[in-house]
């Protein structure tokens, strides 16, 4: 059967994106380009610009009137993805976004350990070819860094410091502890030795050059933490807001909304504190800090706790969702080389071919600093019913073109992160929190996301310093000093990303209220959840326009 013009265009765009992003293709289970890397240099940018311009011309030639719903959504998504990618080039993000302590070029070989298959001679050869090509990726990143220095457009001091320290730790560690070797103890000795030799010959020297380039560029780090310190910082931040939220939000309005939410959530937390016999949330936090049962000494204890929370959720989920993903989710600890700089948790999607489950990574570094009462809301956000349900269902929706099933998540993260944050509240409705301690953890997580609106805009629009952000996160959300520092540095590194959580949650909850008021007693919450998750990741404006028509009342 021939494709419609919209779906054919979506397929061409998706094919072009995967050609530009071999690493992503491998992550999705497509091994055809598993011997290559994305090209961060001028040639890669030129190919992307040509793809975007051609796609936009073709999209503009399609008349949207009378299109079926899914094609209308696909056309919206095509345009937004292209606008986001064009915007990134317009503000020349390549000057500084390659310096990243959480996902920079230095982490790429270790990332391969998570998803590149090495079972069999052909797969080993592809991995070795990819490792041999790694120096060119590093050199292109160095060239971008040096171009940024000349243009006065560089990363923040703390981001450069963290990245320099991280690369230094990687170089100081023995090659035998590299993730690609540790992750595959089953490999024959001959294959392990070939991978080890490639790491020594190609990866380590390239990382040493990158380390030296970072140290040379460090004196040119921008004057302050936020992009507001760049010569064109306002334009950069406007792009970042749109790229992450899919909406043209105003920084001042987001800042104000975050402050309002912090106050409202604080009132909820104080109510729990009084229920538990404390005058306010500060007194309750002090009691929890002193309570040995609220702190783990063994990292494995945190992983086991999260595994139990996943199992409880899966058991009750059919009462709240009509459709559940086929793919499972596995809890893992963040790898040692990354744990000092990584966020508290994150999710890694399953392979498209079903060969790998989703992974819920929990940061177990310094476990005593990670209160147990906060783990539950993190699990419900990152794994189930949060990111895993949403992303796995999206990938398994065979009625959608590949661009919608796998590519929609590049149209900002407000839908995905909004669903994750909505899931934290939904988990309370589902009866998943064990007690008021875990419920407090959920509210602290909500306050944390509200605080993100305040500190992200504060840092990048209003030139807040790092210490002001850390103080707000500790006071509003009860984060430890370590967590507040790591999170603040994440917001500095990824301007706008922290805005996506509460903007997305705000949209989903507002639509639920609107549809529930429309349908009254016939409101079907399972149908609502299936409709929200049944069309893949969506720009928020598209969700707002389409979702009410997708949810039907109970008969």
More confident residue, 399 or 372: 372
Q: What letters, b where the CB count within 10 A reaches 16 and e where it falls short, cover 416-430?
A: bbbbbbbbbbbbbeb
Whether 207 is in a domain gets the answer no
What is the average per-residue pLDDT within 109-130?
A: 95
Per-residue pLDDT tens over the stretch 527-546: 999 999 999 999 999 999 99
Whether 422 is in a domain gets the answer yes
Whether 129 is in a domain gets the answer no
Whether 331 is in a domain gets the answer yes
Is the distance from CB of 258 to CB of 502 less than 8 angstroms? Answer: yes
**Percentage above 90 pLDDT, the chain:** 90
> Is the pLDDT confidence value at 496 over 90?
yes
Q: Is 439 exposed, middle or buried (0-12, 13-18, 19+ CB in 10 A)?
A: buried
Whether 322 is in a domain gets the answer yes
DSSP 404: I
Whether 477 is in a domain gets the answer yes
In this structure, the strands spanning 329-333 and 358-362 are parallel
Which residues span the domain enclosing 369?
242-505
Per-residue pLDDT tens over the stretch 455-491: 999 999 999 999 999 999 999 988 889 889 999 999 9
**3-class SS at 262?**
helix
Per-residue pLDDT tens over the stretch 207-252: 999 999 999 999 999 999 999 999 999 999 999 999 999 999 999 9
**Residue whose C-alpha is closest to residue 495's, from 226, 254, 251, 152:** 226
Q: How many helices (H) and strands (E) in the chain?
A: 24, 3
Whether 555 is in a domain gets the answer no
Q: Give, for 331, the enclosing helix (H) or strand (E).
A: strand 329-333
pLDDT at 398: 87
Q: Which residues contact 310 (CB under 8 A, 6 or more apart)?
A: 329, 331, 360, 379, 383, 384
Give the total number of structural domains in the chain.
1
Whether 328 is in a domain gets the answer yes
First to last CA, the chain: 35
pLDDT confidence bin for 193, thresholds 50/70/90? very high
pLDDT at 1: 65
**Residue whose C-alpha is closest to residue 502's, from 441, 393, 421:** 421
Q: What backbone phi and psi angles, to 5 degrees, belong to 465?
A: -90, 170
């Amino acid at each position: 059967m021939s494709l419609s013009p919209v779906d054919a265009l979506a397929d061409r765009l998706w094919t072009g994106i995967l050609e530009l992003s071999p690493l992503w293709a491998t992550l999705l289970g497509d091994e055809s380009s598993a011997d290559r890397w994305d090209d961060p240099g001028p040639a890669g940018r030129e190919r992307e610009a040509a793809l975007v311009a051609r796609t936009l011309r073709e999209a503009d030639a399609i008349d949207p009137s009378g299109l079926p719903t899914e094609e209308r959504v696909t056309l919206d998504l095509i345009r937004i993805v292209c606008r986001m990618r064009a915007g990134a080039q317009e503000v020349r993000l390549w000057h500084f976004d390659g310096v990243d302590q959480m996902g920079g070029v230095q982490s790429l070989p270790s990332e391969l350990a998570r998803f590149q298959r090495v079972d069999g001679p052909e797969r080993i050869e592809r991995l070795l070819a990819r490792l041999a090509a790694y120096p060119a990726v590093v050199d292109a990143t160095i060239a971008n860094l040096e171009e940024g220095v000349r243009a006065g457009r560089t990363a923040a001091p703390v981001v450069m410091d963290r990245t320099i320290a991280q690369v230094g730790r990687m170089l100081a560690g023995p090659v035998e502890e590299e993730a690609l070797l540790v992750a595959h103890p089953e490999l024959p000795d001959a294959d392990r030795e070939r991978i080890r030799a490639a790491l020594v010959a190609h990866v380590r020297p390239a990382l040493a050059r990158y380390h030296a380039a970072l140290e040379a560029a460090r004196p040119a780090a921008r004057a302050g933490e936020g992009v507001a310190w760049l010569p064109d910082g306002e334009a950069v931040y406007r792009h970042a807001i749109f790229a992450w939220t899919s909406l043209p939000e105003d920084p001042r309005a987001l800042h104000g909304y975050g402050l309002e939410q912090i106050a409202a959530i604080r009132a909820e937390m104080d109510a729990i504190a009084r229920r538990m016999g404390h005058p306010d949330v500060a007194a309750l936090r002090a009691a929890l800090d002193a309570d040995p049962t609220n702190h783990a000494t063994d990292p494995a204890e945190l992983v086991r706790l999260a595994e139990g929370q996943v199992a409880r959720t899966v058991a009750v989920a059919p009462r709240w969702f009509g459709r559940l993903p086929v793919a499972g989710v596995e809890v893992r600890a963040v790898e040692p080389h990354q744990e000092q700089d990584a966020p508290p948790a994150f999710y890694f999607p399953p392979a498209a071919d079903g060969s790998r489950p989703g992974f819920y990574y929990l940061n177990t570094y310094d476990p005593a600093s990670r209160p147990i009462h906060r783990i539950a809301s993190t699990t419900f956000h990152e794994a189930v019913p949060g990111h895993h349900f949403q992303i796995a269902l999206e990938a398994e929706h065979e009625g959608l073109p590949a661009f919608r099933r796998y590519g929609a998540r590049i149209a900002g993260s407000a839908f995905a992160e909004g669903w994750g944050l909505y899931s934290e509240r939904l988990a309370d409705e589902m009866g998943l929190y064990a007690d008021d301690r875990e419920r407090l953890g959920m509210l602290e997580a909500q306050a944390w996301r509200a605080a993100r609106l305040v500190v992200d805009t504060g840092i990048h629009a209003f030139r807040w310093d790092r210490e002001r952000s850390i103080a707000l996160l500790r006071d509003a959300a009860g984060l430890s000093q370590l967590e507040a520092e790591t999170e603040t540095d994440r917001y500095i590194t990824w301007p706008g990303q922290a805005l996506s959580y509460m903007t997305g949650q705000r949209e989903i909850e507002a639509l639920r209220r609107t549809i529930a008021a429309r349908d009254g007693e016939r409101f079907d919450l399972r149908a609502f959840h299936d409709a929200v998750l049944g069309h893949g990741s969506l720009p928020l404006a598209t969700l707002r326009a389409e979702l009410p028509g997708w949810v039907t009342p109970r008969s």
